[in-house]
Amino acid sequence: MLTHVNDEGRPGMVGVGEKAVTLRVARARSVVRLPLSAAEHFRGGELYMKKGPVFQTAIVAGTMAAKRTWDLIPFCHPVALEACRISIDLSRDGRVTIDCEVSVHHRTGVEMEALTGASVAALTVYDMCKALSHEIAIEETMLLEKRGGASDYRRPDPQEEETRDER
């Protein structure tokens, strides 16, 4: 059963007032694929475009978005995040991996905040690099982990599996 739909089929926000306050943590990832011609511009460090430093700007944008998820997704509860960490790595093949981890002591999970932070950081990389190529693609966005609340979840890390497969 969908939690945001009542017995009459009408959408609505889930009531969390009776839930216990616990530490809630979520980690999400977005992957941006840069064509090698665009990725070459990053060799040797951070890429600065006319709009500013690409990865640093993406981290700020992703953090701002995670904090405002409830403004973007209709049935998300307002959550005052206690932490938001975004890391961005560029592989040799042009893959930009953006991880966003958020945490809060609250009655509701923060999966959507982590997913929103990673997604907006990816969109920011795209926006800032689109002058280099229109072949840039945001390939995937996924929840990697959530802790706290009724159940925990952990997806096997796709990059760790790739590393094991290469051995």
Instruction: Return the pLDDT at 164.
Output: 55
- Averaged pLDDT, groups of 10, the chain, 167 residues long: 60 64 94 92 75 93 97 88 96 94 90 97 96 95 92 80 57
Does any domain span residue 151? no
Instruction: Return the pLDDT at 138.
Output: 98
Instruction: Return the pLDDT at 17.
Output: 59
Does any domain span residue 39? yes
Does any domain span residue 113? yes
Does any domain span residue 16? no
Does any domain span residue 152? no
126: tokens are 């795209």
pTM here is 0.85
Instruction: Return the pLDDT at 9.
Output: 62
Distant-in-sequence contacts of 40-49, Cβ < 8 A, 24+ apart? 41/129, 41/132, 42/90, 47/129, 49/128, 49/129, 49/131
Does any domain span residue 12? no
The CATH number of the domain holding residue 53 is 3.30.70.640
Domain range for residue 103? 23-145
Does any domain span residue 163? no
Domain count along the chain = 1
Which residues form the catalytic set? Answer: 127
Does any domain span residue 127? yes
